[in-house]
Amino acid sequence: MTTLTREESEALIQEVLEVYPEKARKDRAKHLMVNDKELESSKKCITSNRKSLPGVMTMRGCAYAGSKGVVWGPIKDVISISHGPIGCGQYSRAGRRAYYVGTTGVDTYGDMCFTSDFQEKDIVFGGDKKLAKLIEELEVLFPLSKGISIQSECPIGLIGDDIEAVAKKKAAEIEKPVVPVRCEGFRGVSQSLGHHIANDSVRDFILSNRDGQPFESTPYDVAILGDYNIGGDAWASRILLEEMGLRVVAQWSGDGTLAEMENTPNVKLNLLHCYRSMNYIARHMEEKYNIPWMEYNFFGPTKIAESLRAIAEHFDDTIKEGAERVIAKYQPMVDEIIAKFKPRLEGKKVMLYIGGLRPRHVVGAYEDLGMEVTGTGYEFAHNDDYDRTIKEMKDATLIYDDATGHELDEFAKALKPDLIGSGIKEKYCFHKMGFPFRQMHSWDYSGPYHGYDGFAVFARDMDMTVNNPCWTKLTPPWKKVVADELKKAA
């Protein structure tokens, strides 16, 4: 457990950069910064959304991962075809632990793998005929599906298949939306562009489908955007909104349906949780349908109360009273959680390296438990994310963009955090180094972490990890060797 001063943090960054060749060092230096709360804009201190350096280990995904895994995947009644060779589809199948209600294979298809399984001949002669046949077969096998999305893998863009034409023809035949998504993995520098492409395809093929149709609206209609129902997150968020008197028309896209998405243009306010992956569609709806949007944060009681009040500001007094009622209702529960776990977690240091919204959104939840976040970073953020992060983080903390394996290891060794929160690719390295670790992409198969109910689970999980006696029993293999050699020498 170490707290670094500004000078020490800057020295640490320089030390970590030393192993790189000169050109790489210059490039990586732009992606690392020591936080300065005074700053209004991150632009001058940190560069983001750039191509990862060849030769280093990056934790990023691809555009296909962003589109299929994040935006389209969790929509439960839409069949997402992985168009291309089988690997991408199979390894991303049910990869994100988004919960839903429904019966898989009957009316719900979230964790199934549909793929066109490209072979050499499909690359040589084109795969459009196969795709058309695949859609016909799907219609026979799964007649209850509400629509189909075609998630392109790399070869589709490389050989130039015209999936748009196939989609248009088949959509007319089966009378359901068939959405071609040009999310080939090579597009962009990370999964971030995949989110954007997926948002654009929703905009072009789904959003305006029910324009002009009657809709029984209330003045309290809202939509939850950018909540993927990891471990039931969207449900834990939804009940708070409903308790304060709002009507949640749609969940995008965790436990979401096509009908919900088509009805979203009728809402009065879009609530945006994951800004990075869904701000595009919120911006579009603001322009086309005049629906305002706002970001909110449902991690930890402080931020939840702040967010509930900010949401209520957009509505009349009944909702404002509702917000206060909800906050008051859960206060005893929050007090109990904090009384139980804060003494066990107080003063512990946390290092994060995640994606999307979490590197800044969970900071409040840790602070509610008396913990301190000493370093944070994003895999695929843009500058607007860092603008928001600077305000959330304490002064002189480390911020790293698209960190490499080497950088993370060295930062962890220097910061000596009591807890590291990152993804599955980092999990076992840090386990072996003896650092308490939580996998913060899918809440380490726990959850929910959103809302008051989620905070109870969050606090329990953090306590379970930080205060687990097993961590002191671990010696990393490389340290073991040194110990053995010392014994021999002595």
> Which residues here bind other proteins, judged by CB under 8 A?
40-41, 43, 47, 49, 192, 196, 280, 283, 286-287, 290, 294, 382-384
Termini Cα distance of the chain: 31
Nearest distance, CB of residue 296 and other proteins, angstroms: 13
Whether 96 is catalytic is: yes
Annotated catalytic residue, options 63, 65, 183, 305: 65
Whether 483 is catalytic is: no
Distance of CA 160 to the CA centre of its chain: 30
* Closer Cβ to other proteins, 183 or 337, answer by number: 183
Closest CA to 355 of 300, 391, 418, 400: 400
* Closer Cβ to other proteins, 60 or 283, answer by number: 283
Annotated catalytic residue, options 83, 93, 96, 276: 96
* Closer Cβ to other proteins, 60 or 382, answer by number: 382
Distance CA 198, CA 214 (A): 27
Distance CA 489, CA 475 (A): 20
Whether 236 is catalytic is: no
* Closer Cβ to other proteins, 47 or 264, answer by number: 47
Distance CA 389, CA 371 (A): 17
E strand or H helix at 336: helix 317-345
Q: How many CB atoms lie within 10 A of CB 332?
A: 9
Distance CA 449, CA 438 (A): 13
Nearest distance, CB of residue 207 and other proteins, angstroms: 15
* Closer Cβ to other proteins, 178 or 223, answer by number: 223
Whether 314 is catalytic is: no
Distance CA 415, CA 148 (A): 47
Annotated catalytic residue, options 97, 182, 187, 195: 195
Nearest distance, CB of residue 467 and other proteins, angstroms: 41
> Is residue 1 a contact partner of residue 416, using CB atoms and an 8 Å limit?
yes
Cα–Cα distances in angstroms (integers) from residue 332 to residues 75, 275, 297, 480, in the given order: 35, 31, 20, 48
Q: How many CB atoms lie within 10 A of CB 288?
A: 13
Nearest distance, CB of residue 382 and other proteins, angstroms: 5
Would you name the residues annotated as active-site residues? 62, 65, 96, 195
